[in-house]
């Protein structure tokens, strides 16, 4: 039963992970992503409230997706 449900679980997890990643705000400009001085204080930004929840939720979804991928690899 798990083998037949695993692809659907992976699809749901991947859609949720895409949504969670797209909902996160990015304050870095193009210059900051290429090493410019636009994003000099990004290392000192602390996440609070819903931003912290969304960040942790994204990490949990990524771990669940990796575990389900390894499970589908070994269960076949």
User: Distance from CA of residue 17 to its chain's centroid?
Assistant: 5
Phi–psi pair at 52, nearest 5 degrees: -70, -40
The encoded tokens of residue 46 equal 């602390």
Residue 74: inside a domain, yes or no? yes
Residue 36: inside a domain, yes or no? no
Query: Higher-confidence residue: 32 or 75?
Result: 75
Residues 49-67 have a mean pLDDT of: 95
Closest-CA residue to 25 (of 57, 43, 47)? 47
Spatial distance between the Cα atoms of 26 and 33, rounded to a whole number of angstroms? 11
Most confident of 1-5, 46-50, 54-58: 54-58
Count up the domains in the chain and report the number. Answer: 1
Residue 2: inside a domain, yes or no? yes
pLDDT in tens, 25-55: 776 555 555 555 555 555 566 778 889 999 9
Residue 69: inside a domain, yes or no? yes
Residue 64: inside a domain, yes or no? yes
The whole domain housing 53 covers 1-24+47-76
pTM above 0.85, yes or no: no
Spatial distance between the Cα atoms of 8 and 11, rounded to a whole number of angstroms? 5
User: Distance from CA of residue 8 to its chain's centroid?
Assistant: 18
Residue 9: inside a domain, yes or no? yes
Residue 39: inside a domain, yes or no? no
- Count Cβ atoms within 10 A of the Cβ of residue 13 and give its class: 0-12 exposed, 13-18 middle, 19 or more buried: buried
């Amino acid at each position: 039963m798990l083998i037949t449900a695993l692809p659907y679980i992976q699809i749901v997890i991947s859609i949720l992970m895409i949504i969670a990643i797209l909902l996160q705000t990015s304050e870095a400009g193009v210059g900051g992503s290429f090493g410019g001085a636009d994003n000099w204080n990004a290392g000192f930004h602390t996440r609070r409230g819903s931003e912290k929840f969304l960040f942790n939720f994204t990490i949990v979804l990524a771990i669940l997706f990796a575990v389900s991928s390894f499970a589908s690899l070994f269960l076949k």
